[in-house]
Structure 1
């Protein structure tokens, strides 16, 4: 339980964010453009690069990351930091190849792009999958992580606490649209990062620095916890080759083909702002390993030295063995290592992650439902009607997400549960987008069948792995599952593209890069803001970091 002062700080933060979201999203938007759907869903395409980068980062980082990455740091060390650092490479792909392409095509949603490049069936399928993934991955898992923390800190039922926060977030998101989302996310990113740095510093000071932690890891034969790239056969199930083969499949879908993420890029002022903002996010992705994952590893060392009491996390598994429910480790770090007042700031940071993730996903869902579903059957609909439909669909999605919490809470690790689901969703979408953007011979029929059959296979493989956990599928690491499913989809689409040859329309003829150099013809801004220079610098930075923590 936390003090009255900390509770007041949290309440003040929530009221402040909701007020800013309502003012900036509703009052200012109506003052400028009234009920214009382009302004509501894409912020009038006026977002500059700092907000593009901060908003991308905030939409990606949520309570799931603060809670589950600390849990993974406690359990397996820095290993899951691969998901953060590998993201930099897919963000480079987004900046160099996908972002300029999406802006050039003038689409409002990614399903809209698939229809122009392939056909209507592809658009409809991606819309369904995108809404499904936004509800589960971006909202429900975030609510679960936030609920665990809030229940532990305040003693309030998890479902009640997250419902209240979700409704408050939905108020300014549904009223204000993307402009409200981007502005509040930019603020929340700063609060979230400051809070994460605060808890990292508290852990660091408590244990006494790097040397005492290394001493603990050496004594307990846990030096491998510092390694990001594990050898083949590692007990984690995520050896180095699984990272480099499997992550790109997940990453291209998440960063380059997921509406919730890419919508910030679609709202950019121009191509240069989109590219530089995306690369800015790539540099920000260096931080999570040090401020989200490392605190969990420091907590492990603190426990071994008797400086952090985890008796409240002790339990017994189904086989009667003593286990530690590490889902709650972040909460213990907050309550045991921080003084009154700072606890409130940390909870505000957690709420930042939770609210920014929910707001981004709700805006994405409302855009997809309005443009890709409702407008199809009501082509003459007005902007005001589109906005109203978007608001209603966001509210329904929020209710569905809350209803999924008991099911998702069955996963022992929130982060692994999240990526396990992504691994079975992403492969066909990643395949269809990559071939669609880079290969002119990719046909509409082949894309449609790849999406259908690839998604069906993903569901079958997921179900078999859960119903038969002792089978080969049950033991296959999710990263390798994603890679194998992607290989199947790639073979399927390429083969079917020759069986059913492409028949380009005047529109689709220009909706793929005719050479790998074509998207790089734009010289970009001069000096340090040049997207080519920033891309090279980001690659070099990540290569050095992986070498240090190999």
Structure 2
């Protein structure tokens, strides 16, 4: 197979550097402009909800940018390189959840007049304990899944030759400045610019990559032969034969079902039934009960603008197949020795991880396919994606800590004090997230997107069950929702700890992990968590006194 063996590493041409400088100047200018807006200075609503002044197209682009970040470009391209196209189900399924947010959940949030989702649960059920537990769970999920820091660091490492942690520091500095001083309006302003850059740059790269590989037919033909020149040896008879037999391609070989979206329900790395269960039910947390996402829609001028934003964001979710997943597959075809490496020593030399190097698929493609100048633009695209999502997350962290936790410690805290406490919380979360990166880097066979979706599922499933009963069953009581949340959360935390201490076996090694880890796919486990939470909530609620319709603060 005639492929290029190695991509060009580093940006050393003035044209590439100029693109980076212009990008940072443009986004910095947008952030400064937002900081000067009166709404940013109007207390907590101005800082945390942009004063409710954002238009539908701004909110829609911000929703998309907050979700589709460098994590997606790195993770989905890596999943495409290692596994094929099945992961796209998760993206397309999200379209229906975005619409569910705008038409079912958001009217309730706006009617309740809340700033945060834990605050909504407090008003819905009465009492404070659910509010505090969910606030802590949201912060914990941010710390344990620092995907945007890691993916942004990878891109800077590959493009500029810096140490990955130096790149992480640079991204943290830029994102922190926006979220600490500009508030949500600065985030939305920069998101708007970044989405245009991100979509335009990735579209150009995708077109050029398809031309280089010979179009779609060329990719179909060449992908199945894209194997590293020195793949690790293996013996089929020694391969672990339980549920995880097909979780990864055998010793660097492409999967036989790489071009199948719907895969076997038990023997696939992305079983379609599990994905649909996880993303349809468990995805309620991410899209309908996630402070980072919902906070953008609460910043809209009114409900009509929020619904228009949801439609725009849903339309944009159709693009990852062609802008991320297939380019990752093309990268494997063009650079198999790096992207498809399976020997731990080789992978360590290529990307610094013994678990595999599929995560560098997108950076390799950028640096190997694009001409001078365009490479700098695409590095700017990745940095913009990382900064965009991080600013959204950090602003949401500040909101939750200040309004849901600190107000319990200091009920009489002033607006100035709450904004200050939110900023301090962001600094603490940043430090702990960076410290967790080495753990994530080598987890779950080196595929970042698999680790991220698993962790978010374990921690998000309890929230999904809680918000489902809160929204759609008025008979649910505070005790029912609380104990349903606790049961689902304890199950998820136990499974997460077992995943961390029992690493996925390397190619050819026997799988000695506990059966609950090796035999139960994380997505199925997420569904089990949610159903357990719902069952416990129903049983406990039926034996406890419900609140009256007047006490339940939501529309009929």
From 130, 134, 138, the equivalent of 1:126 is 134
Contact 1:41 1:363 in 2 (8 A): yes
Q: Counterpart in 1 of 2:330?
A: 298
Q: Counterpart in 1 of 2:184?
A: 178
Larger helix share, 1 or 2: 1
Q: Counterpart in 1 of 2:455?
A: 421
By how many angstroms is 1:7 displaced? 2.2
> Structure 1's 349 and 219: CA in aligned 2 closer, same or farther, altered over 3 A?
closer
By how many angstroms is 1:339 displaced? 1.0
Asked if 1:146 corresponds to 2:179, the answer is no
The gaps in structure 2 that reach 5 residues or longer are 1-9, 227-253, 349-353, 503-511
Task: Indicate the RMSD between aligned Cα atoms, in angstroms.
Answer: 2.3
Matches within 5 A, 1:74-473: 74-118=81-125, 119-137=127-145, 140-217=146-223, 224-236=257-269, 238-300=270-332, 302-303=333-334, 308=335, 310-311=337-338, 314=341, 316-317=343-344, 325-411=357-443, 412-468=446-502, 470-473=513-516
From 486, 504, 517, the equivalent of 1:474 is 517
Q: Secondary structure at the residue paired with 2:300?
A: coil
By how many angstroms is 1:364 displaced? 0.2
Q: Counterpart in 2 of 1:547?
A: none
Contact 1:21 1:173 in 2 (8 A): no
Q: Counterpart in 1 of 2:351?
A: none
Q: Counterpart in 2 of 1:4?
A: 13
By how many angstroms is 1:135 displaced? 3.4
Task: Deviation per CA, 1:113-159: give whole Å up to 9, x if none.
Answer: 0000113111111111112223333xx21111111121122111111
Distance 1:107 1:461 in 2: 33
Q: Secondary structure at the residue paired with 1:225?
A: coil
By how many angstroms is 1:499 displaced? 1.8
Distance 1:487 1:84 in 2: 23
Q: Counterpart in 2 of 1:498?
A: 542
Q: How many residues align?
A: 501
Task: Deviation per CA, 1:357-411: give whole Å up to 9, x if none.
Answer: 1100010011111111112232222222222222222222222222221221122
Distance 1:44 1:438 in 2: 29
> Structure 1's 223 and 458: CA in aligned 2 closer, same or farther, altered over 3 A?
closer
By how many angstroms is 1:34 displaced? 3.0
The gaps in structure 1 that reach 5 residues or longer are 515-550
Q: Secondary structure at the residue paired with 2:26?
A: helix
> Structure 1's 294 and 111: CA in aligned 2 closer, same or farther, altered over 3 A?
same
Q: Counterpart in 1 of 2:26?
A: 16
Q: Secondary structure at the residue paired with 1:310?
A: helix
By how many angstroms is 1:83 displaced? 1.6
Contact 2:205 2:366 in 1 (8 A): yes
Task: Deviation per CA, 1:65-97: give whole Å up to 9, x if none.
Answer: 111111111111111111211111111211110
Distance 2:339 2:385 in 1: 25
Contact 2:223 2:330 in 1 (8 A): no
238-247 or 279-288, which deviates more = 238-247
TM-score normalised by the chain length of structure 1: 0.86
Distance 2:81 2:49 in 1: 39
Distance 2:23 2:515 in 1: 48
